[in-house]
Amino acid sequence: MRLLHTMLRVGDLDRSLAFYQDVLGMRLLRKEDYPSGKFTLAFVGYGSETDHTVLELTHNWDTAAYDLGNAYGHIAIEVDDAAAACDAVRAKGGKVVREAGPMMHGSTVIAFVEDPDGYKIEFIQKNSGSSH
């Protein structure tokens, strides 16, 4: 067994694809419309679905926004330098919601950014402390 993908419902697929591709540097791996169900699925990631876990962005054509609720946490991405990753996101118009620094009660350097729908993405700086 292996983890395949995490699905996120998005209100504006073009806006979300621009964020994940242009801001976070992921590639669009595949995209398909399902007219009878009125939705589109787009899969993005840093490598092929055969070797990497990816994100499935689901756009229901008749839904422009979602309530995020309080159960879902975040997506985590390993980066070489969390501060530099935040600077790159900010330079491309992205939103940094927690600047790079040690996690509370630990030494791992983390930061958080937010996608256009409000989903949190955690940057974890490689080799900065214990992994979680």
Nearest by Cα to 19 from 87, 75, 90, 94: 94
**Do 44 and 57 meet the contact criterion of CB atoms below 8 Å apart?**
yes
From the candidates 32, 49, 114, 122, give the one annotated as an active-site residue. 122
- 3 state SS of 42: strand
122 labelled catalytic? yes
Only one residue has tokens 């975040």, namely: 74
Active site residues: 122
